[in-house]
Chains A and B, each alone.
Chain A
Amino acid sequence: MGDIMSKNIEKEALDNSLDNNIALFKRVFKDDETVIFREFQNKWLKAARCCIIYVDGMVNTEIVNENIIQPVLRSDLSENMESENLLKEFQSKIVVSNDVKTETAIDAIVKSVVYGDTLFLLDGYAEALVISSKGWQSRSISEPECAKVVRGPREGFTESIMVNLSLVRRKIKNSDLKFKFKEIGERTHTKTCICYIKDLASDDILSELERRLDQIDIDGIIDSGYIQELIRDAPYSPFETVGSSERPDIIAAKLLEGRIALFVDGSPFVLSVPYVVVENFQSNEDYYNNYIFGSMNRLIRGFTAVTAITVPAIFLSIVAYHQEMLPTPLLLSISASRQGVPIPTAVSLFLMLFIFDILREVGIRMPAPIGQAVNIVGALVLGQAAVEANLVSAPVVIVTALTGIMTLINMNFLSATIIFRNFLLLGASVLGIYGFFMCIVIMYLHLMSIRSFGVPYMMNVTRAKNSDGQDAWIRAPWWTMTLRPKIIAAKNLVRQSSAKSKEK
């Protein structure tokens, strides 16, 4: 393992002298003043000189004080001399902790200490106890800001991987739910966890995921986005081929469909693979609400995803190439709005859409208190004033606003929408509706060629078979969804045995 930290300390080893060991760790943690060395001694047994080493702020001081220092100081150790190995005695009889390990490897010890464990050194032993005492501050479980629901669970993932795992575990109480840890990042040693249901997840997809994770060679992982990009299929495509969610209910549901989740420490966004295009339009609320309402909302999302990409291009091609397709009164009113406008429709569309993207980015970046000012400038000055000053025509502003709003419904689709919208607009501005359809064909071919972990990206979009389409454009009633998604959960397709659903 090309571990950078271990290179500096691989020559080092623990020896029997406590002072030497302390000196060793002082060398390892040189210039790091957050590391605390606390030496103490049992009053009954003078030989029991010990030292604990921990990182301030990473440990729960209550555990260190009451469960490590206090028992060692207050116990009459002279009575406890049954075993030859005093350290073993400490581990089994003195230290009050749920997780105590004996460790000799320096790099493993250092890793544990910087991750909030307490190191316990005893004079005369070339071994050390690593006592679990993690206790740093973390954000409490709250509803994710960007994925709020009207109906559904209100909890979201946090930055702590163990809390996140527990959130999912609480939903799927089954020993088939498996968790496999993996460390990624040479410097950050970021803990990641592959989570799947053994009965359902495809072995091929699991081994492929593990292979891709093993291939990652990076010094640091700050967010799951790093891994998302490193393991994805079709790396140059604007379409996401790895899913991410901030909600435990969504991840649990995906696990139950046979997908595999990947938790990354420090990130509230949990990844899921494989990821197909319809998942962009699925919302957890579809499943909690009445199926008619859920289907309606999903159709709206699908429709807006299509229109957000196509509306500016269709508008341009009709207005600039195929005026005969307009009803006469509409033609007259569009013509009236164009009178005296110097900028061509195509250019003004590109310009206005670009300005809308700027406004969207500003909305995310700017400090909240000045939001009002930006809104006023954006909406009034750019929209109304531009029309009044005859710089752009009113229909262009309407199309831009409509497109902009529709773009924001499917945030997962944002990058693809923006890129392909401009692509189609370019086609339309060069060749009219003909160019538009040519670009549509190119986009469709691209979508059809993508796969996510071996699963076709457009799975279930164009299929007419009942069992395929029931969770794609619509959300069928639960009693009819007897099968899990094919290919993904090929191992165990039946979700509800048909006998049970017939009783319904």
Chain B
Amino acid sequence: MKKIKITFLILIILINSILFTGCWNYREIDQVLIVAGLAVDKGINDQYKFTVEIAQISGGKDSKTTSKTITAEGETMFDAARNLISLSGKRLYWSHAKVIILSRKVAEEGVEKVIDWYTRDSETRENVFLLVSEEATAKEIFDVESTTEGIKSFILGEMIKNQVSLSKAPITDILQYGIESKTKEISTIIPAVSLKKMNDKMVAQVMGSAIIKNNKLAGFLNGDETKDLNFIRNQVKGGVLTEEMQTDNGPALASLEIFKSNTKVVPAADGNKIKIDLNIETTVAIDEIEGVENLISEEQQLKLEKSTENTLKKQIQELIRKVQSEYGADIFGFGEKLREDKASQWKRVSNNWEDVFKDLKVNVETKVHIKNSAVLS
């Protein structure tokens, strides 16, 4: 009797553990369509218009991977996603998607509405990058020819990833967006994608950023502004600073490669007045001086450091002023910092932070070190 009981117990545990697992369907890899990227537009009747780029793989000896787009509409995102099956025949496989491109209209209506399905579904992943199209629709990004061979979404993904050595666009995936947008004090930015004419052909370019305030698109910043923004957000990992120099042989442009940058945001309260101290310390190296040799002398380097500091400071102050007056969106994360460092002050101003932010006094200090001078031996 005891033996039977134990056998039954083991059987129940075994059967339960089999039945209560997640997705476990056997599916051959060639039976699914691999989604590379997704573009969301607004269609007729306010429906979502869904364009997916799918990897099209031809087998055989010289296999080639090309891409193809499919467009479907639906009332909700998931509805649209499933409607795609009626056009493709095969199930779509989302785990390897790299980018989601939102059209301007969709982003203005609310980003969270769109990505909600993507964060909740079991087959999708949260490391997919978000993009906002500066063009009329998101779909046309997929329609242009790509600069290099391959699937456009994957190339876009690479473009965003490699911003670490350019810093002219933010790197925002869905997970990060979700975390930042839930923290109500700060607004977020996501990279912007636009079309650019190159050799009579239109190509996609990831440059600049879109300001998302209260989950809605508020405006765009260009690439250089985004770089300055990244300085404030302490997200500069690489990139180039150019600085004009007066030399004996006339004016020249120096390119400084950024190696390391560290930004300290220190909120301070002077009575009821809140002000922010920004300390930016950047280590650069001279990479290019347009052939002007005497720039390498120490005196010249110090001069170059000073002028670069001033230029950077001016640019950053300009950006802060622009964002404060035009958008009033705290994309710098000052509010977050204030909450961390000066909780009592934050409690006082948190209710009308937007107004406070608009009049916030920001003191910018920049420091540039030139690490080496690229001496030609």
Contact residue among B24, B55, B59, B63 (Cβ-Cβ distance under 8 Å from A432): B24
Contact of B57 among A320, A339, A432 (CB under 8 A): A339
Residue B63 contacts which of A319, A333, A344, A345 (CB distance < 8 angstroms)?
A333
With contacts A323-B93, A328-B154, A331-B34 taken as known, whether A336 is within 8 angstroms of B26 at the C-beta atoms is no
A335 contacts B29, C-beta separation under 8 Å: yes
Contact A338:B59 (CB < 8 A) given known A321-B25, A323-B29: yes
- 1/0 per residue, CB under 8 A from A, across B18-37: the answer is 10010011111110101000
Q: A335-B57, A336-B58 are in contact. Are A320 and B29 (CB under 8 A)?
A: yes
Task: Report the bound CA distance from A331 to B63 in whole Å.
Answer: 13
A321 engages B24 (CB within 8 Å): yes
Bits for B83-120, please: 1 = Cβ < 8 Å to A, else 0.
00000000001011010000000000000000000000
Instruction: Say whether, besides A332-B57, A336-B58, A429 and B93 are in contact (CB < 8 Å).
Output: no
Residues of A within 8 A of B294 (CB): none
Residue of B nearest to A336 (CB): B63
Q: In the bound complex, how far is the Cα of B317 from the Cα of A321, in angstroms?
A: 53
Cβ of B300 under 8 Å from chain A: no
Q: Which residue of A lies closest to B65 (CB)?
A: A332
Q: Is the interface of A mostly helix, strand, loop or mixed?
A: helix
A320-B26, A323-B32, A331-B34 known; A434 vs B21 contact (CB < 8 Å): yes
Q: How far is the CA of A429 from the CA of B26 in the complex (A)?
A: 8
Cα-based distance from A331 to B57 in the complex (angstroms): 11
Give Cα distance in the complex from A388 to B25, angstroms.
29
Most chain A beta-carbon contacts within 10 A, residue among B25, B55, B59: B59
B321 interface residue, CB < 8 Å from A?
Answer: no
CB under 8 Å from chain B, chain A span 149-171: none
Tell me, in angstroms, the Cα distance from A432 to B23 when the chains sit together. 10
- Interface digits, A309-327 against B, CB 8 Å rule (1 contact, 0 not)? 0000000000111011000
Q: Which of B25, B59, B96 contacts A339 (CB 8 A)?
A: B59
Assess A345 versus B28: contact at CB under 8 Å? Given A339-B58, A339-B59. Answer: yes
Q: Is A346's beta carbon under 8 Å from chain B? A: yes
Residues in A with CB closer than 8 Å to B250 are: none
Tell me if B291 is interfacial: C-beta within 8 Å of chain A. Answer: no
Q: How many whole Å from B61's CB to the nearest CB in chain A?
A: 8
Instruction: Name B145-162 residues within 8 Å CB distance of A.
Output: 154
Residues of B near A434 (CB, < 8 A) are: 18, 21, 24
Q: Which residues of B contact A323 (CB under 8 A)?
A: 27, 29, 32, 93, 95-96
Kindly identify which residue among A338, A431, A432 contacts B30, using a CB–CB cutoff of 8 Å: A338
From the candidates A319, A390, A431, A432, name the one contacting B29 in the complex (CB within 8 A): A319
Question: Is A454 in the interface zone, CB < 8 Å from B?
Answer: no
Residues of B within 8 A of A6 (CB): none
Instruction: Verify if A340 is at the interface (C-beta below 8 Å from B).
Output: yes
Instruction: Please give, as numbers and ranges, the residues of chain B lying within 8 Å of A141 by CB-CB distance.
Output: none
Interface residues of chain B: helix, strand, loop or mixed (majority): loop
Q: In the assembled complex, which residues on chain B have CB atoms less than 8 Å from the CB atom of A267?
A: none
Judge whether A340 and B24 touch: CB under 8 Å. no
Distance, CA A323 to CA B28, complexed state (A): 9
Assess A331 versus B59: contact at CB under 8 Å? Given A320-B29, A321-B24.
Answer: no
How many whole Å from B152's CB to the nearest CB in chain A? Answer: 14
Q: Which residues from A are CB-within-8-Å of B123?
A: 324
Neighbouring B residues of A339 by C-beta, 8 Å: 30, 57-60, 63
CA distance in complex: A431, B32 (Å): 19
Q: Are A340 and B18 interface neighbours, CB within 8 A? A: no
Question: When the two chains form the complex, which single residue of B29, B55, B61, B98 contacts A338, counting CB atoms closer than 8 Å?
Answer: B29
State whether A336 touches B95 (Cβ < 8 A): no
Contact across chains for B29 and A331 when beta carbons are under 8 A apart:
yes
Query: Which B-chain residue is minimally distant from A429 (CB atoms)?
Result: B26
| Interface 1/0 per residue, A390-402 and B, CB below 8 Å | 1000000000000
Docked CA distance A214–B243 (Å): 96
Which of A324, A388, A431 touches B96 (beta carbons < 8 Å)? A324
CA distance A336 to B96 in the complex (A): 15
A370: min CB distance to chain B, Å: 32
Nearest chain B CB to A430's CB is how many angstroms away? 8
Q: Once the chains bind, are A328 and B96 in contact (CB under 8 Å)?
A: yes
Q: Which residue of B lies closest to A332 (CB)?
A: B65
- Taking a contact as CB atoms under 8 Å apart, the answer to whether B59 and A390 are in contact is yes
Any chain B CB within 8 A of the CB of A409? no
Known contacts A337-B59, A339-B60, A332 near B34 by CB under 8 Å: yes
Q: A323-B93, A324-B125, A331-B96 are in contact. Are A336 and B65 (CB under 8 A)?
A: yes
C-alpha gap A388/B95 in the complex (Å): 30
Interface residues of A in 336-353 (CB under 8 A from B): 336-341, 344-346
Contact of B55 among A320, A332, A334, A345 (CB under 8 A): A332
Q: Are A335 and B30 in contact (CB under 8 A)?
A: yes
Set of chain A residues within 8 Å of B27, measured between Cβ atoms? 320-321, 323
Question: A345: nearest residue on chain B (CB-CB)?
Answer: B28
Bitwise interface map of B from 52 to 68 toward A, beta carbon under 8 Å scored 1, else 0? 00010111110101000
Task: Tell me, in angstroms, the Cα distance from A292 to B32 when the chains sit together.
Answer: 48
B127 to chain A, nearest CB (A): 11
Give the CA-CA distance A447 to B63 in the complex, in Å: 45
Known contacts A332-B34, A336-B63, A434-B21, A344 near B28 by CB under 8 Å:
yes
Give the nearest-CB partner of A318 in chain B.
Answer: B29
Look across to chain A and name the residue whose beta carbon is closest to the beta carbon of B14: A438
The residues of A that contact B93 with a CB separation of less than 8 Å are 323
> How far, in whole Å, are A320 and B60 apart by their CA atoms in the complex?
20
Contacts of B24 in A (CB 8 A): 321, 431-432, 434
Chain A, 408-453, CB within 8 A of any chain B CB: 429, 431-432, 434
B95 to chain A, nearest CB (A): 3
Q: Do B57 and A336 touch across chains, with their CB atoms under 8 A apart?
A: yes
Q: Which residue of A lies closest to B124 (CB)?
A: A324
B interface, CB within 8 angstroms of A = 18, 21, 24-30, 32, 34, 55, 57-61, 63, 65, 93, 95-96, 98, 123, 125, 154
Q: Show 25 A/B contacts (Cβ-Cβ < 8 Å), sorted by A.
A: A320-B26, A320-B27, A321-B24, A321-B26, A321-B27, A323-B95, A324-B123, A332-B57, A333-B63, A334-B29, A335-B30, A335-B55, A336-B57, A336-B59, A336-B65, A337-B63, A338-B28, A339-B30, A339-B59, A340-B59, A344-B28, A345-B28, A345-B29, A432-B24, A434-B18
User: Which A residues contact B (CB, under 8 angstroms)?
Assistant: 319-321, 323-324, 328, 331-341, 344-346, 388, 390, 429, 431-432, 434
Known: A323-B29, A345-B28, A431-B21. 11 other contacts (CB 8 A): A323-B95, A328-B98, A334-B29, A335-B55, A338-B29, A339-B58, A340-B30, A341-B30, A346-B26, A431-B24, A434-B21
